[in-house]
Amino acid sequence: MKTEIAIIGGGPAGLAAAVAAREAGVEDILIIERDNELGGILNQCIHNGFGLHTFKEELTGPEYAGRYIEKVEELKIPYMLHTIVVDIAENKVITVMNKEQGMFQIEAKAIVLAMGCRERSRGALNIPGYRPAGVYSAGTAQRYVNMEGRMPGKKVVILGSGDIGLIMARRMTLEGAKVQVVAELMPYSGGLKRNIVQCLDDYDIPLKLSHTVVDIKGKKRVEGVTLAQVDENRRPIPGTEEFYECDTLLLSCGLIPENELSSQMGVELNPVTSGPVVNESLETNVEGVFACGNVLHVHDLVDYVSGEAKMAGENAAAYVQGTLMQAGKEIPLKGENGVRYTVPCTVDRDRMAEKQVVRFRVGNVYRDSFLCVYYNDKCISRVKKKVMAPGEMEQVILMKSKLEAFDGLESITIRIEQE
């Protein structure tokens, strides 16, 4: 089986990339999705707040996904459901498997990686105690409540203040559960400020920063958890333990891009994001392989995912049509002094658009600081920022005309500076 563009993942990134590639003139596109329906994680995100940037109106997750699914159907873009990608070779031969056709291969001219991300599991957190029932990732609990109509428990403690955990604190409360506390290992929240206000403050749910779970009580079912304060090295402080009686512990301790397939095919990964290293076209080091959405780096807004995926789809289309300019001199982008990474990692002045969005996250909470952009050692932009936090994605815009006008440009650095 052959296709011009294979898109791996039928969530918001894959759908937007497919629509963009079709609208750019490529007819032969295939979306490969392992679930039983398109839409990805949005299907279980029944809260509103989606689509304000893309559609200029507030939608729920399923409504937002539905807009793109309608476009895919309207444009007659084929897709395979219940189909798992087993392997991707460097020559872009994809080995897939489903129950109808068994195992078979798809030859693609270009590939868009849009596999999304997964939650960090309990095993990665090293929490002592037994392994009783009642310990769930926040996303699993969200699926149970919103899609399967099942309640994980009635008395809940949440570890981690990522956005899914914050949203589930509100959701469980609305379903009649008592959320005792949200504990966060770091001295700052990992979620959006609006979610702290709307999901915790509005329901009087306490948020304990610099706290973690040090013990889980219960053998068959969770009976309670012990929280303790941690020091600056994130080690529990003796004497600060507090016991909370509960039957459920939800974990919201970060997301990891799904890049096992990417690394198997030789895609270079960024050690900070665990996502592919990409250039201004969102192309990886493997020619004709593009990446977008949460498989590239974890986003806070799905609207940004769609915008990024649109660009990946258009560039994949240009690649198979032979109109994507050959890479010339790639100028590296660096993050320093609190800027943890940048997407993209390099830019080519000849290939980039007039406006190039560079997105990144910071490594701490910075107040009344300056976000600075340097060309080589020269500061060309210094913007005052009231607050920057790890839970909120930041961005700067590079102008092609300014880059072209700068002689001898060897590197671009984004950094945070104080007064």
As given in the structure block, the two tokens for residue 93 are: 């031969």
Neighbours of 319 (CB within 10 A): 23
Rounded to whole angstroms, the Cα distance separating 373 from 356 reads 13
How far apart (Å, rounded) are the C-alpha atoms in residues 374 and 321? 35
pTM higher than 0.75: yes
Tokens of 46: 């029944």
- Short-list 206, 11, 5, 240, CA closest to 117: 11
d(CA 166, CA 94): 37
How confident is the prediction for the chain on average, in pLDDT?
93
Question: Does the pLDDT of residue 284 top 70, yes or no?
Answer: yes
Give the number of other CB atoms < 10 A from CB of residue 120. Answer: 17
Q: How many CB atoms lie within 10 A of CB 410?
A: 10
Strands of 121-259, DSSP E: 135-137, 155-159, 178-184, 207-209, 211-217, 224-229, 242-245, 248-251, 255-257
Taking residues 229-239, what's their average pLDDT? 94
pLDDT, tens digit, 9 for 90 and up, residues 45-95: 999 889 988 999 999 999 999 999 999 999 999 999 999 999 999 899 999
Per-residue pLDDT at 180: 96
Asked whether the predicted pLDDT for residue 329 surpasses 90, the reply is no
115 — pLDDT class (breaks 50, 70, 90): very high
Q: How far apart, in whole angstroms, are the C-alpha atoms of residue 3 and residue 5?
A: 6
Phi-psi map region of 194: left, alpha, beta (phi>0 left; psi -120 to 50 alpha): alpha
pLDDT tens readout for residues 191-208: 888 899 999 999 999 999
Task: Collapse the DSSP code of 84 into the 3-class scheme (helix H, G, I; strand E, B; otherwise coil) and give the result.
Answer: strand
Tell me which residue of 318, 322, 260, 268 sits closest to 117, measured CA to CA. Answer: 260
